[in-house]
Amino acid sequence: MKIGRRSFLSFIIGGAAGTALSPLAWKSMDDSSIWSQNWPWTPVPADGEVSHVNSVCTLCPGGCGITVRKVDDRAVKIEGMKGHPVNDGGVCILGLSALQLLYGPTRVKAPLKRVGERGEEKWQEISWSEAVAEVAAKLGDLRSKGKSHTVCSILDSDKGTVPYLFGRLLTVYGSPNFIRTPSIQDSYELAINLMHGVQASAGFDVEHADFVLSFGSGLIDGWGSPVRMFKANSNWKDSGSKVVQIEPRLSNTAAKSDKWIPINPGTEVALAMGLAHVIIKESLYDSDFVNNYSSGFDKFKQLVLDKYNPDNVAQITGVDSSALVSLARNFAHASKPLAVCGRGQGKTQGSLDEFIAVHALNALVGNINSEGGVWAVPDPDYIKWPEVEMDSVAAVGMQKERIDGAGSETYPYARYLLNRFSGVVNSEEESPVNALFVAGANPLYTISDSKAVKEAFSKIPFVVSFSSYMDETAKNADLILPNHVFLERYEDVPMPVGLQKHVIGLSRPVVKPQFNTKHVGDVIILIAKALGGRIADAFPWDNYEACLEETLGDKWESIVENGFWSDPDFKVPASEEAFNTPSGKFEFIPANLKSPLDFSPVTIEGSDISYPLILVPYDSMRLANGFIGNPPFITKTVEDTVLKGKDVFVEINPKTAEEIGLIEGRYVDIRTPRGKAKVRVHLFDGIMPGIVALPRGLGHTAYDKYIAGKGINFNELIGPVEDPVSGFDAAWGIRARLTKV
């Protein structure tokens, strides 16, 4: 028998019919669809017991309370803590993504010692005892050579037990070089110091203000404590409070404000003085406060009446004089007006004149230390450690001038000047810094003129990073002593930025340390103990947790239970007692200032001939631009007109674009006196002609492949411009040029 073609076909047809009548086809289809929904790389959290831990987020200075949902030993979701005095249940997109920073690949998993060249990323894992011994040996060596003052620490904060431990170690070791990373806190503290005569942070009673005048502050773009500001903003909408936003670019804040006033960039100080002019001229100021509790008003009055009439100001700022007059009247007539400044998220210090001018506006309307106004909030004084006893080496070291020049004759007012750091190091043949410790900060990324900062770092013989992540600074360090991330450690988080209350939050271990990391507080104590003598004596605690518990004393139990402690009795003194200036009053023109302020706009770097455009940065909640790299979850939310693939877009007004012949999406080279980069063009009506803008928070070169290599770091294009009085970085932009590529 021979099987022919027809029989064969018939067999196939029979087979097909049989298959259709069997479950094979539809069952396979069902199974393959389930299979395709369960790829092995799709993460599926294991089932288990659910629990919640209250803690505090430390990813920005906002100090939000968080509640972390756990399944067994794994943290699975971060939410805002209900009832927390800062954020009451809210959380920002960065806080939400923090689990990626806990479990993601960017962590440093053990103490690492550099074996290749700096930045080459050749590391050798070492033990903690080796790491501590190495640091102690280095410090001991420098000290024995009388070079203790060449040791320097850079931290993101000077409040709380961890910065205090660093400060204490430096003091008893013999170095005055504790440096805090720059922000508008510096300028606000200084303005308050000069005008109130007290050392305090600025607190803003935003919840009660009914007219908010913002000089470029990104109220809902991450200024102050971000989640608190979102909440305040929705309250303003509900209660009909007004928000006026003054800035050259239509930011989110400007778009959501009641009135957006575009202004020539950098001229905000003149506008503030112009508003003061109208308020004084029309006698709209709070005469009770001005007559009874202020001094220098006449001089101030003379200055604004002479130099800042609305027409002059209109010319400088580009803001129509009639708009200025009506803005001044509305502001002064509001029952609780509040003026704030510090551009964007307030990551650069800004010019002192501007802060003094804006603070003077607040004083004119009498809202200093009052409901809905600006408060001078002293640090809570819960850290009461015994004075350190210095030996002779330490005493000599502490007498030396600071490396950044803060507190010197040239810069008598500033406390920290990290912006001057690289200039100082680079100007000398041999680095004046012999050892540098960096904790909770990433200066190689966040400080402007990255190239110069990198050069300075490369000259410093010994750099130690305490970063939990392989950030730019860690990558270029000699030793990395990784700290636990905030979800794995105890730490007090005092003074959420901009809050007019005393609140201390407690970060606490939500999960066990995932890797061989160590609390930075413990490491400092171990280093001190290894150094011995008076240094060891200054650190009587067995470990950091014991130190923290002892420091918080009777607050410990309630802070552990609630996740935070807030002082119910906190008040600022009444105006009779609030000021500690030479006059005992609020000083419009600070008597303590040796050189007079001229209240003129800051000139930025670059000539307008070779660089016809002005480049300004902008901040967004979707791009973390501090020492934390933007986790991939958030990067996903960045619009295609900001970042597409690896390309960042420069915003430009369509008119300006037309003049130089650019169209949407076009690749261009952007050049500034400090650097150049290849970017793409985005036409945006919301930016003033002649100005271009780039976002901050992109262009990482470290961390991991998910964070690095996206866009460019704004700090590579801009350098510091020194404020003549304070020494702060007053740069608000830089001149730039676009060329087609």
Partner 1 sequence: MSRLIEEKGKESESGGFIILFFILGLAASLVLGWGVFPKLLYSQKKQPIDFNHVLHVEAVEEGCESCHFFREDGSFSGLPKLAQCVDCHEEIQGEDPNEVKFVEEFVANEREVPWLVYAEQPDCVFFSHAAHVKMGKMECVLCHGHIGESSHSRVYEENRVTGYSRDIWGKNISGLKKNTWDRMKMDDCAECHAKNKIGYDKTSMETLPWPLNWALLPYEKQIGPKARVQAKKDACFVCHK
CB of 99 to partner 1, least distance (A): 17
Query: Residue 7 or 592: which CB sits closer to partner 1?
Result: 7
| Residue 395, amino acid | A
Hey, what are 433's tokens?
């810094």
Whichever of 94 and 648 has its CB closer to ligand SF4, that residue is 94
Nearer to ligand SF4, 60 or 184 (CB): 60
Does the protein bind ligand SF4 through residue 219 (CB under 6 A)? no
User: Whole-angstrom Cα distance, residue 100 to residue 78?
Assistant: 11
> Minimum distance between the CB of residue 518 and ligand SF4, rounded to whole angstroms?
23
Which CB sits closer to ligand SF4, 91 or 707?
91
Cα→Cα distances 733→296, 349, 691, Å: 32, 13, 10
Contacts of 8 (CB under 8 A, 6+ apart): none
Q: Report the distance separating Cα 510 and Cα 472, nearest Å.
A: 27
Residue 37 C-beta: closest distance to partner 1, Å: 7
Which of the stretches 61-69, 434-442, 537-545, 686-694 binds ligand SF4 when contact is defined by CB under 6 A? 61-69
Binding site partner of 17, from partner 1, ligand SF4, none, Cβ cut-off 5-8 A by kind: partner 1
- Exactly one of 68, 75, 91, 263 binds ligand SF4 (CB under 6 A); that residue is 91
Residue 681 contact among partner 1, ligand SF4, none, beta carbon within 5 to 8 Å by kind: none
Give least dist CB 563 to partner 1, A: 19
b/e code 7-40 from CB counts within 10 Å (16+ = b) = eeeeeeeeeeeeeeeeeeeeeeeeeeeeeeeeee
* 498 binds ligand SF4 per the rule CB under 6 A: no
Residue of 85, 203, 226, 727 that binds ligand SF4 (CB under 6 A): 226
Between the CA of residue 26 and those of 21, 22, 31, 35, 398, what are the distances in Å? 10, 9, 9, 14, 81
Between 87 and 245, name the residue whose CB sits nearer to ligand SF4. Answer: 87
> What does the H/E/C string look like for 302-352?
HHHHHHCCHHHHHHHHCCCHHHHHHHHHHHHHCCCEEEEEEEECCCCCCCH
Smallest separation (angstroms) from partner 1 to the CB of 67 = 13
CB 247 within 8 A of CB 732: no
Residues 176-195 that bind ligand SF4 (CB under 6 A): none
What's the min distance (Å) between Cβ of 6 and partner 1?
6
- For ligand SF4, the binding residue among 59, 206, 232, 390 (CB under 6 A) is 59
Tell me how far apart the alpha carbons of residues 197 and 621 are, in angstroms, rounded to a whole number: 35
Q: Can residue 57 be called a binding residue for ligand SF4 (CB under 6 A)?
A: yes
> Using CB under 8 A as the criterion, which residues of the chain lie in contact with partner 1 when the complex forms?
2-4, 6-8, 10-19, 21-24, 27-28, 30-32, 34-35, 37-38, 44-45, 47, 49-50
Provide the sign of the torsion angle of the four alpha carbons 180, 197, 209, 283, taken in this order.
Answer: negative
* C-alpha–C-alpha distance, residues 561 and 575, integer Å: 36
Question: Which of partner 1, ligand SF4, none interacts with 24 (beta carbon under 5 to 8 A by kind)?
Answer: partner 1
Which of the choices partner 1, ligand SF4, none does residue 60 contact, using the CB cut-off of 5 to 8 A by kind?
A: ligand SF4
Residue 94 touches ligand SF4, criterion: CB under 6 A = yes
Q: How far is the CB of 105 from partner 1 (least distance, A)?
A: 22
**Residue 8 contact, options ligand SF4, partner 1, none, Cβ 5-8 Å cut-off depending on partner type:** partner 1
512 or 594: whose CB is closer to partner 1?
512
CA distance 710 to 473: 18
Least separation, in Å, of the C-beta of 512 and partner 1?
16
95 binds, options partner 1, ligand SF4, none, Cβ within 5 to 8 A by partner type:
ligand SF4
428 interface partner picked from ligand SF4, partner 1, none, CB below 5 to 8 A per type: none
- For 39, 304, 353, 412, 414, the CA distances from 595, given in Å and listed in that order, are 68, 18, 12, 11, 14
Residue 278 main-chain phi, psi, to 5 deg: -65, -45
CA distance 402 to 257: 43
Return d(Cα 529, Cα 506) in angstroms, integer: 26
401 burial class (0-12, 13-18, 19+ CB within 10 angstroms)? middle
Stretch that binds ligand SF4, among 52-60, 362-370, 576-584, 598-606 (CB under 6 A): 52-60
| Choice between 212 and 624, CB closer to ligand SF4 | 624
Non-local CB neighbours of 487 within 8 Å, separated by 6+ positions: 55, 68, 75, 98, 99, 102, 509, 510, 511
**62 or 372: CB nearest ligand SF4:** 62
Number of residues that bind ligand SF4 (CB under 6 A): 13
Q: Which does 609 bind (CB under 5 to 8 A by kind): ligand SF4, partner 1, none?
A: none
Q: Residue 546 binds which entry of ligand SF4, partner 1, none, with Cβ cut-offs from 5 to 8 Å by kind?
A: none
Q: Which stretch in 62-70, 297-305, 573-581, 704-712 sits in contact with ligand SF4 by CB under 6 A?
A: 62-70
Q: In the chain, what is the straight-line distance between the N-terminal and C-terminal CA atoms, in Å?
A: 77
CB of 43 to ligand SF4, least distance (A): 23
- Residue 227 engages ligand SF4 in binding (rule: CB under 6 A): yes
Tell the smallest beta-carbon distance from residue 87 to ligand SF4 (Å).
6
C-alpha distances out from residue 170 to 148, 436, 650, 654, Å: 9, 11, 43, 53
Q: Which one, 497 or 683, has the nearer CB to ligand SF4?
A: 497
Residue 63 interface partner, choices ligand SF4, partner 1, none, CB cut-off 5-8 Å depending on type: ligand SF4
Continuous segment of H or E residues that includes residue 216: strand 211-217
Q: Which is nearer to ligand SF4, 84 or 671 (CB)?
A: 84
Smallest distance, partner 1 to C-beta of residue 81, A: 17
* Residues 639 and 715: beta-carbon distance below 8 Å: no
Query: CA neighbours within 13 Å on the CB side: how many for 642?
Result: 19
- Residue 163 touches ligand SF4, criterion: CB under 6 A: no
Minimum distance from residue 509 beta carbon to ligand SF4 (Å): 17
In the complex with partner 1, the residue whose CB is nearer, 45 or 553, is 45
Q: Which two tokens stand for residue 264?
A: 């020539």
Binding of ligand SF4 by 495 (CB under 6 A): no
3-state secondary structure of 54: strand
Q: Does 62 bind ligand SF4 (CB under 6 A)?
A: yes
**Looking up tokens 């640091």, which residue turns up?**
135
Give the residues across from 740 on adjacent strands.
668
Identity of the amino acid at 468: S
State in angstroms the smallest separation of the CB of 493 from ligand SF4.
9
Calpha distance 292→266 (Å, rounded): 33
Residue 260's DSSP bridge partners are: 245
Would you say 555 and 165 are in contact if contact means Cβ atoms under 8 Å apart? Answer: no
Among 91-99, 172-180, 251-259, 417-425, which window interacts with ligand SF4 (CB under 6 A)?
A: 91-99
Q: Which of 92, 101, 278, 604 binds ligand SF4 (CB under 6 A)?
A: 92
Q: Which listed option, ligand SF4, partner 1, none, makes contact with residue 59 (CB within 5 to 8 Å by class)?
A: ligand SF4
| Cα 313 from Cα 400, distance rounded (Å) | 45
Report, in Å, the least distance between residue 150 CB and partner 1.
53
- Interior angle at CA 634, CA 629 and CA 635, nearest 5: 75
Q: Does 414 bind ligand SF4 (CB under 6 A)?
A: no
In whole angstroms, the minimum distance from the beta carbon of 713 to ligand SF4 comes to 20
Interaction site with ligand SF4 (CB under 6 A): 57, 59-60, 62-64, 87, 91-92, 94-95, 226-227
